[in-house]
Amino acid sequence: MKIAVALKQVPARDSAPGVAECDLQFEINEPDAYALEAALQLREAQGGEVVVVSAGPARVSTAIREALAKGADRGVHIVVDNLHQLDVFGVAQLLREAVASESPDLVLTGLQSDDLGSGQTGVILAELLGVAHATLIMAIEVKGASIRVKRELEDGWFQHVTLPLPAVLTIQSGLNKLRYATLMGIKKAKTKEIRELSGTVTPASVVAGPGYPPSRSKQSQIFDGDPEKAAQALAEKLKYEVRVI
């Protein structure tokens, strides 16, 4: 079984918003780390290959190498410098081309990204690939040319669904205990293949960065003088200008 894992590199969780990218530390998106772990466990049980697919600038190769050190077999790096400007549909378009070229039996993604948190990339990717999909996956059982998955619903309810392969699954965070890269794994990762693809997508909409500091539209007003007159002036302002009393 060939399993592709869509992996995103995001700013470290302790990074302050508004800081220039050159001053940030980056790491593997934690929900995607759970998708990688699920893929590695499936390969250990079923055999096959795990291919990590990630899009972004040159720095993304470090995240791919980390995934290879944890046990992934190969990596695909979609080199694109404007990933931060793309909406979810644009990112899914980039992933579709790379994933389609690998023809995997199964594609796993994390629940959402720690930076944007839309939770839509996997769903849109499945639609673009024209394959079945399911979200919030807690367990995966391979049955020949199909899989049976356990989905987490609300209030402690679960749903079991059978899907034909190929399929795209969004893995629930916390499903398994994440493994660490071993020293041997780090050494092997240096010789594993990372295939580079050039990615170009014109964003349908642009994701704007946060603006700091926020614009100030209101100012405070101090009522000085006699307390009784100050209270009367405050009451009049609240009644006739603010209109809250």
φ and ψ at residue 239, rounded to 5 degrees:
-80, -45
Q: Radius of gyration over alpha carbons of the chain, in Å?
A: 24
> What's the confidence (pLDDT) of residue 1?
94
Where do we find the tokens 């899989």? 147
Tokens read off for 105: 């039996």
Note the CATH architecture for domain 2-198.
3-Layer(aba) Sandwich (3.40)
Those residues whose C-beta lies under 8 Å from the C-beta of residue 169, and which sit 6 or more positions away, are 106, 107, 108, 109, 122, 133, 134, 135, 137, 140, 149
106-110/2-6 β-pairing: parallel
Q: Where are the domains of the chain?
A: 2-198, 215-245
> What's the confidence (pLDDT) of residue 55?
95
Those residues whose C-beta lies under 8 Å from the C-beta of residue 221, and which sit 6 or more positions away, are 237
Q: Amino acid identity of 27?
A: E
> What's the confidence (pLDDT) of residue 57?
93
> What's the confidence (pLDDT) of residue 32?
96
> What's the confidence (pLDDT) of residue 132?
96
pLDDT above 70 covers a percentage of the chain that reads 89
Where do we find the tokens 């050494």? 187
Q: Amino acid identity of 94?
A: L
> What's the confidence (pLDDT) of residue 216?
65
Which residues are bridge partners to 137 per DSSP?
Answer: 151, 171
CA distance 198 to 98: 10
> What's the confidence (pLDDT) of residue 154?
87
What element of type H or E holds 22?
none
Residues (pLDDT < 70) of the chain are 14-23, 201-218
| Coil, helix or strand at residue 200 | coil
List Cα–Cα distances, 187 to 7, 71, 181, 183, in angstroms.
21, 11, 10, 6
CA distance 55 to 81: 9
| Coil, helix or strand at residue 23 | helix
